[in-house]
Amino acid sequence: MPAVGGYLKYFCPQVKKLQDRVDKSQKDVENTKDKYEEALAVLHKYNSTYVDDMTEVFGKTQDFEEKRLRFFKDILIAVHGCLDISRSNE
């Protein structure tokens, strides 16, 4: 029986250390989960604002692209008119 007592003296502190690590890890998981959920709540809070802002930016970009295309079209029509030999001023 003394051998069993020796094992218990050795393993009890090891088991306690492992249990403490498990408890600490569980607390860390809970804290991290809470922080994650808070971050998600903040993101959801700003989601509608983000969508509105991006819709506005998209509209502005579309307007700019329309103006750009109209400009190039006008320039190319003007260049075509200058190079059109069928309408020469003779």
Per DSSP, 87 falls in state: G
Dihedral sign, Cα of residue 62, residue 68, residue 71, residue 73: negative
10-45 tens-digit pLDDT: 678 888 888 999 999 999 999 999 999 999 999 999
pLDDT of 72-86, one tens digit each? 999 999 999 888 778
**Total residues found in the chain within this entry:** 90
pTM of the model: 0.51
For the chain, which residues make up each domain, given as ranges?
Answer: 2-82
